[in-house]
Amino acid sequence: MANNLLINLAVLMQRPTGISTYALNILPYLKNLSPTLLTAQPFEDYSCYAIPADMTPEQGAKGHLKRLIWTQFQLAQIYQQQQAQLLFSPLPEAPLFSGCRYAVMVHDLIPLRFGQARSPMTYYCRYYLPQVLNQAQHILCNSLATARDISQFLGIPAKKLTPIPLGYDKTNFRDLNLPESNYFLYVGRSAPYKNTQRLISAFSAIAKPHNYQLWLTGTHDPRYTPTLTAQVQELGLQEQVKFLDYVSYSELPKLMNQALALVFPSLWEGFGLPVLEAMACGTPIITSNLASLPEVAGEAALYINPYNPDEMTRAMQQVGKDEKMRSHLRQASLTQASKFSWETTGNATYSVLSASLSAEC
């Protein structure tokens, strides 16, 4: 009997970040569709089709290029060999002009908002992505903000779009009842749109900055991290600002639990998973008033204009000095996080893929 559904896991990384986390957490809820997983990693109790392991962001530009070539040519052949009826990709990549029926997940269109003229990602989003989405049977996206961007930038009709918010791992991200420490926490990459330069400037303006620290997590990026370390040195904040590099999945909740607040001043987010995960830990949230972040944080956050460092400074001062405010924000975070779950995300995804399969039958 043919396997009706293929799930493309070519992007899975050894150190999971956003897309990998999403794919791994919704997978159990798709099991009843009896999918075949296209994967370089073994998965027990699933039908698996082995694919190359060197096609992820961990291999840099070469990994991305190899995956796109494989997607266009080998993946189309696998689809035909397996007599599949639908391909699902946890990111917007699929074989073009191949006759493959597919659904994809779009996490954001940030390269179209903040793209650099010669960046491969800008070309990817301007030329490849529109073709992928136009030829898709259905498009999932992680927020109303992302759905609006897809319609605004690419002219995709709303009937092809289903916003499905992300979830979080309740066994990992939870209130650990740990003692509070004196640091503000940032979780994420160091790309310019993440706005960490303004965050460092805002932190430097806090009265008596030696009373606080700023901890920045995220894998060292040779394109951007040196600029941030130079900024810290120029401001004389080497003792207050810590670059933690990549923090493991199991260690991150401890950092979140003990932080004065998660400060997440991104200029744009498709969803903002660190905000949800921090709320699940009961961490006070300071975040941007733009894009999807109000969808995620609801009434649990202290919102700032991310283009205004003074607002960031005032928010950190308020949270740092006011224990009652922190207590209120902690409880509000836990309440807001309880509205999200991977079960809800997975079941909604199951419904969309099941309907797409039925439409072919």
Where does the chain show beta strands of DSSP type E?
Answer: 5-8, 36-39, 47-50, 86-89, 102-106, 138-141, 161-163, 183-186, 213-217, 241-245, 261-264, 285-288, 301-304
How much is the pLDDT for 254? 98
The whole-number pLDDT of residue 219 equals 87
5-167+341-360 matches 183-337 in fold: yes
In the chain, % of residues over pLDDT 70? 98
Where along the chain do its domains lie? 5-167+341-360, 183-337
Examine the pLDDT at 307 and tell me if it is beyond 90: yes
Q: How confident is the model at residue 361 (pLDDT cuts 50, 70, 90)?
A: low
Cβ contacts of 77 within 8 Å, gap of 6 or more: none
Which pLDDT does position 360 carry in this prediction? 64
| pLDDT: which is higher, 298 or 119 | 298
pLDDT grade for 124, boundaries at 50, 70 and 90: confident
CATH classification of 183-337, choosing from 3.30.420.40, 3.90.1150.10, 3.30.565.10, 3.40.50.2000? 3.40.50.2000
Domain 5-167+341-360 CATH class label: alpha beta
Looking at the predicted structure, is the pLDDT value of residue 1 above 50?
no
